[in-house]
Structure 1
Amino acid sequence: MATLSDQDLVFSFLGDPTRRPNVRRIDTHAASVFLFGDRALKIKRAVRLPFLDYSTLALRKAACTKEIEINRPFAPDIYLRVAAITKAPDGSLDIDGPGSPIEYAVEMRRFDDSQTLDHLAARGHLSAGLPELLADSISASHAVAPRASTSAWIESIPAWIDAFAASFRGSQRFVEEDVNELRTLCHAAFSQLRPRLEQRARDGYVRRCHGDLHLANIVVIQDKPVLFDAIEFDERIATIDVLYDLAFPLMDLLHFEQPFAANHLLNRYFSTAVNDQTGGLATLPLFMTIRAAIRAQVFLARLDRDDGDRSATLEIAESYFQLARRLIRPATPMMIAVGGLSGTGKSALARALAPLLGPPPGAVVLRSDVLRKHLFGVQETERLPAAAYTPDSSLQVYQELAKQAERVLAQGFTVIVDAVFSRDDERAAIDDLAKRLKIPLVGLFLVADLRIRQARVRDRSNDASDATESVALRQEDYEIGPLTWTQVDASGTPETTLARSLSLLPTSP
């Protein structure tokens, strides 16, 4: 008669409803989590896999210790300690009892798992400001992440591409021609991007990151996103370009059909990252594609383990696969310039337009108000003195806007430039840029009467603009000059302005 292993005994002990009423067990390929009361205990399963080894008690204890070490900076209120499961001489088990340890667990403070971002996104319940808060959390984690002393992860990318392609072929779930095309496009993109990736590694952008930032590993606690379950079992998998870390939630938001959230995450991250990351924009299509393809691979692997709805699992795998195919395809970028006096709704329009424009996850928004604050080294909502608005400083802002727009466009992304553009030479500079780059340009100039503009300016809060009602009044005397851009009546609702503007684009998004 077979005897139970120590781990089997531990699982029976922790899952005993007579000891822990309403206990719930969640199993993955590498761990079993027991939820009870306000606590969760995560046990490493006694397995050896190609990418991890938990086959001995010593290895599992070390893995638990490492998980606490890696995750506590992300989620200090969740990750508490390593707890020992002990066995007394009489055979009874306890948590941190007087007996000998036969297993170890990561003890965590339990949270409401219905508030993980995958559940919220599936229900369409992502709050309006959540993507920006998530961007801030990810950016902060990257700012303190240890820099890698090697760029070995770059060498591993072709192997990852070949691995998921081989997995897709072996499953026989996807059309072989589609798999081959995906592999070919990924390798071609990698070859083109390799010099850029190597330069980013030299610049310190390869760091020890979270490594597994899909939406199920982000939870909202007290209205703030918290990152958890970072990779602890393999430094190599988590030592990556910071934008490959960002690419996971960007891709997953697109998978859950949340393009607005994905775009706002993108723009907030690039606006607030400690180091300028815009030079890495070109990497995102490949990074998001790899993330989507590996996610498809993960769900295909679950087909062999799941006792539940296999058709649903296959459907998810298929959706990630098709998303990967869509993300790797190059798109033609365009430039949209949104001008207008203060209070016409330029920034609201830019923010609404950006998610609707290709390539995914939408256009990069460059806002003069934000750029001016960056140039003066202050926070976005910190008010600048009048000296920051001299003709010379404004010229510098517009020149920098054009420079950054060119940088974005050169990497294949659509850009929206948001500024007053009250002078003919400011608009002409944007026109000339588009002509020189042979990029389609749509110039929109929003108009609304003074009363509406002043009311909107008055109602602003926590915004980068320093415009006041008196500024709006003074702007009435501006000599706009001849307009070659299309005037858009912006006196109505933001939705009406968006609809009017969309009708002016050369193709429907």
Structure 2
Amino acid sequence: MTGENRRDAHAPAGRGAAAQDETLRLLADPATHGGQAVRRIDTHASAVFLTGTRAYKLKRAVTYPYLDFGTLEKRRRAVAAELRLNRRTAPALYLGARPVVRTAAGGLMLGDLQADGPDPDRVAGTPVDWLVELARFDQAGLMDRVAAEGRLDARTVDRLADAVTDLHARAEPAEGAGGAESLEFVIDENAQQLTAAPELFPPAEADALIARTRCALEAARELLDRRAAAGCVRRCHGDLHLGNVVLIDGRPTLFDAIEFNRQIAEVDTLFDLAFLLMDLDRRGLRWAANRLLNRYHRARDDLAGLAALPLFLSLRAGIRAHVAASARAAQADADGRAAKQREARDLFAAACGYLDPAAARLIAVGGVSGSGKTTIARAVAPEIGRAPGALVVRSDVERKRLFGVAETERLPERAYRGKVNAAVYRAMFDRAAAALKAGHSAIVEATFLDRSSRAHARKTAEAAGAAFQGVWLSAPEETLKARVDARTGDASDATSEIVEGQLTRAPKGEIAWPRVDADGPPEDVAARALAVLGDR
């Protein structure tokens, strides 16, 4: 089973469940919290009580095939693991463990907060259960709500990518875990759950999807095993969808990582990321999914893994499809059940679509500084190739990477001379070639002032057996200068003076690449570029 499915599963309660009734009454009583109102939220594995500035999470005394909270000691260890794992990303939210204590008079009370984790030896009294204590946050900041309400912007997506990148970089490698074999049980469960709802997932369609998924796994088997051996399987989040990310002071904060089952959380880092990519994409936010993927891969040299991305996306969508199908029964009315049914069908269609073949392409976007190459490359990328769109490789970013400096750190003039320029273009084309080798489309954007650099772009595509297209952006000189002078916080170091010099070297007259008028609003220019490329 997968983490996201397990969180919606149904199973009989463990033997200790009835003994928790007294604890549940204690936590629901406003008197326990100084008279403050209490709101209770139940899931199959926990009960959460929201009151004042705090949230208290009680792990239910239940046992599932994938989760065992059946004894006090097991729940104590789970509380300790939840604190440890989630403090990697949300230390301000996870305040500590709080014991539920049996008093000398025989009643229950909340013990003192233990910030370092649950320790029975430091409890005054007899602990009968353990709570995770969290700081409450504004529910409007949950990223699924932000996305649904149209409040998601590029800066937030970049910050989300940085948060995931940081988690994956710091997460402990899971030796002996992962690889192709670890995904076989996911496929088996998808097969079982999809065939259990034939009214939503016609058997012939479900069988076809599972067969294609197994073929995709076989094709990626060697890659997945190699990635596992290289340390790409780590103790990740495990349940990384938008509902488990919240904006705090404008920064995406990951929380509620899987603590109860290592098999769910010890996964390939790209499989962990794929949950977010799929969640964004199925909400009609492919631009955000593409930007997230690009930002993530600018920080991690992980391009070979793109070959497994269609499989990862399809598995995530398939999992969520049967979760939505199972959730129909829990809906209070017909409208709710119908909504879950539509969601299940849409996710099933997405799971099928992610496995559809799409030939890799290389697109080169050229033009002098200020012509809008980066803006147009980013706008075009979601429309190119397989989900969630093409990898964007910027010469300005590769130059900063070559010098080992931050993207916004200005480089000296010598960093833009002959041999350095050649090295930057080689690095850019190498990165694009790695994506193409993985079957993923790429867009390279640079000035491409020299004919040799334009020829190099075509040869890179030919060497990979990929189609090639180039476009040249042009705009009036005053527009170019105004754009570069207005830039802030960008990898480009161009100035008005540099624009003047580039214009003297730019190709005149007809060139092999079709010209696109880059004057005007970005959305209009992107539409013209896509028309030239044949994608609109």
TM-score, shorter chain, exceeding 0.5: yes
1:284 maps to: 309
Tell whether 2:399 aligns with 1:341: no
The letter of the residue matching 1:366 is: V
Superposed CA offset, 1:242-289 (max 9, x none): 11111110111112211111111000000122xx11111111111111
Query: Which range moves more in the overlay, 444-453 or 147-156?
Result: 147-156
- Tell me how far 1:122 sits from its aligned partner: 1.5
Find the aligned partners of 2:433 and 2:17 in 1 and give their Cα distance. Answer: 65
The letter of the residue matching 2:441 is: T
Q: Is the 8 A contact 1:6 1:102 kept in 2?
A: no
- Tell me how far 1:160 sits from its aligned partner: 1.1
Distance 1:343 1:9, change over 3 A: same
Tell whether 2:23 aligns with 1:10: yes
Distance 1:164 1:257, change over 3 A: same
Q: Secondary structure at the match of 2:354?
A: helix
1:155 maps to: 181
Equivalent residue in structure 1 for 2:519, among 476, 491, 506? 491
1:399 maps to: 426
- Tell me how far 1:18 sits from its aligned partner: 5.5
1:414 maps to: 441
Tell whether 2:59 aligns with 1:44: yes
The letter of the residue matching 1:48 is: T
Find the aligned partners of 2:41 and 2:342 in 1 and give their Cα distance. Answer: 22
2:327 maps to: 302
Q: Is the 8 A contact 1:368 1:419 kept in 2?
A: yes
- Tell me how far 1:344 sits from its aligned partner: 0.7
Find the aligned partners of 1:203 and 1:384 in 2 and give their Cα distance. Answer: 34
Q: CA RMSD in A?
A: 1.8
Superposed CA offset, 1:325-370 (max 9, x none): 1112221222211000011110110111112223111111011000
Q: Is the 8 A contact 1:151 1:198 kept in 2?
A: no
Distance 1:91 1:256, change over 3 A: farther
The letter of the residue matching 2:213 is: C
Tell whether 2:221 aligns with 1:208: no
The letter of the residue matching 1:349 is: I
Query: Which range moves more in the overlay, 110-119 or 245-254?
Result: 110-119
Tell whether 2:451 aligns with 1:424: yes
Q: Secondary structure at the match of 2:346?
A: helix
- Tell me how far 1:307 sits from its aligned partner: 4.2
- Tell me how far 1:144 sits from its aligned partner: 1.1
Find the aligned partners of 1:79 and 1:154 in 2 and give their Cα distance. Answer: 34
Structure 2: gaps (5+ residues): 1-15, 113-123
- Tell me how far 1:432 sits from its aligned partner: 2.8
Equivalence map 1:352-501=2 (5 Å): 352-480=379-507, 483-501=511-529
Superposed CA offset, 1:135-157 (max 9, x none): 11111111111112113453121
The letter of the residue matching 1:483 is: I
1:166 maps to: 192
The letter of the residue matching 2:299 is: T
Q: Is the 8 A contact 2:59 2:75 kept in 1?
A: yes
Find the aligned partners of 2:331 and 2:344 in 1 and give their Cα distance. Answer: 13
Tell whether 2:279 aligns with 1:266: no
- Tell me how far 1:4 sits from its aligned partner: 9.3
Q: Is the 8 A contact 1:489 1:497 kept in 2?
A: yes
The letter of the residue matching 1:11 is: L
2:158 maps to: 132
Q: Is the 8 A contact 2:303 2:438 kept in 1?
A: no
Superposed CA offset, 1:430-488 (max 9, x none): 22333444433221111112211111111001100111111111112215265110111
The letter of the residue matching 1:290 is: L
Superposed CA offset, 1:356-392 (max 9, x none): 2231111110110001111111111111111111111
- Tell me how far 1:414 sits from its aligned partner: 1.6
Equivalence map 1:87-102=2 (5 Å): 87-96=102-111, 99-102=125-128
- TM superposition outliers: structure 1 runs of 4+ over 6 Å: none
Find the aligned partners of 2:45 and 2:219 in 1 and give their Cα distance. Answer: 36
1:86 maps to: 101
- Tell me how far 1:91 sits from its aligned partner: 4.0
Superposed CA offset, 1:159-189 (max 9, x none): 2101111111012231111111111111111
Query: Which range moves more in the overlay, 90-99 or 491-500?
Result: 90-99
Find the aligned partners of 1:162 and 1:148 in 2 and give their Cα distance. Answer: 23
1:222 maps to: 249
Find the aligned partners of 2:451 and 2:460 in 1 and give their Cα distance. Answer: 14
Find the aligned partners of 1:213 and 1:329 in 2 and give their Cα distance. Answer: 24
Q: Is the 8 A contact 1:219 1:227 kept in 2?
A: yes
The letter of the residue matching 2:253 is: V
Q: Secondary structure at the match of 1:335?
A: strand
Find the aligned partners of 1:93 and 1:314 in 2 and give their Cα distance. Answer: 43
Q: Secondary structure at the match of 2:363?
A: strand
